[in-house]
A and B are shown apart, each in its own frame.
Chain A
Amino acid sequence: MEWLVFIVVAVAAIGTALGLVIRPNPLHGALFLVGNLFCVAVLYLLLRAEFLALAQVIVYAGAIMVLFLFVLMLLNLKGENPLLTRGAAKGFGILFAIVVFVELLWTVLSPQMEGGMAASPTVPTGFGSPAAIGRVLYTVWLYPFEITSILLLIAVIGAVVLAKRKFG
């Protein structure tokens, strides 16, 4: 059962990711990305990360993608022209991507990873619940958490200043 869900969702995730990269219309790309984010949220649920699955749907698929769609509508882009980079750059791009993929697979499948792959596979009940996350976040990671709020404030101010009408 878990295998079935994993395979279906994994195929859907790869398909939506390819859709984002292949479709010329940015609006289709945005919708494909929403689908991909939902697929990853389902995988989070399989991995017992309930809080993160919900945060993924609310923050990513909700807030961030709405921001993308706002800008898409605001700019009224008319597709890409041309769709892809020209000749050599495209070839090099795909070549570099293949190199990256081989390196990643090499790392994941290397024998040194065996130790990390074979750790305790059972978790206590309540693992990944909002209560468990909050307990760690507000004790061990309190200062990084507060700094994150300052970062978001700076980002909001920066976005307002940048998107404002030009001076004069």
Chain B
Amino acid sequence: MTPAPTVPLVCYQVLAAILFTIGVVGVLVRRSALIIFMSIELMLNAVNLSFVAFSRQHASMDGHIFVFFVMAVAAAEVAVGLAILVAIFRNRDTANVDDVRLLRG
């Protein structure tokens, strides 16, 4: 058995909340599609940290499995999202989300 953690779970949860909020600010305030994507990664990471902390606290591997799946889905999301970004940049010559507000090309 490993010794009990000295840092309580609530510290990890508060840190995850702070990181998630910074990600939310990035998505809402920045205009570059790339920065918005990276902020989404930041939010996913904050939630992953929360999962791992709970997993540690309950001595259960299920949180680790969920983080694994989140990583896989994030990889898929980034691949498709960046491809969309490249396609938009090729057609519109911009990566600013304020310039891409119509659904039709």
Contact = CB atoms under 8 A, between A and B. Distances in A.
Interface of A: 2-3, 6, 10, 13-14, 17-18, 20-21, 26, 29-30, 33, 36-37, 40, 43-44, 46-49, 51-52, 55-56, 59-60, 63-64, 67-68, 71-72, 74-75, 77, 80-85, 89-90, 92-94, 96-98, 100-101, 104-105, 108-109, 113, 116-117, 119-125, 127-128, 132-133, 136-137, 140-141, 144, 148, 151-152, 154-156, 158-163, 166
Interface in B55-69: 55-59, 61-62, 64-65, 67-69
27 contacts: A21-B39, A36-B45, A37-B45, A40-B45, A63-B75, A64-B41, A67-B78, A75-B95, A83-B30, A83-B31, A94-B25, A97-B24, A97-B28, A100-B21, A101-B18, A109-B10, A120-B57, A122-B2, A122-B3, A124-B2, A127-B61, A132-B61, A141-B65, A155-B76, A158-B83, A160-B83, A162-B84
Interface of B is mostly: helix
Interface of B: 1-15, 17-26, 28-32, 34-35, 37-39, 41-42, 45, 48-49, 52-59, 61-62, 64-65, 67-69, 71-80, 82-87, 89-91, 95-96, 98
B59 A124 contact: yes
Contacts of B49: 40, 43-44
A158 B41 CA distance: 20
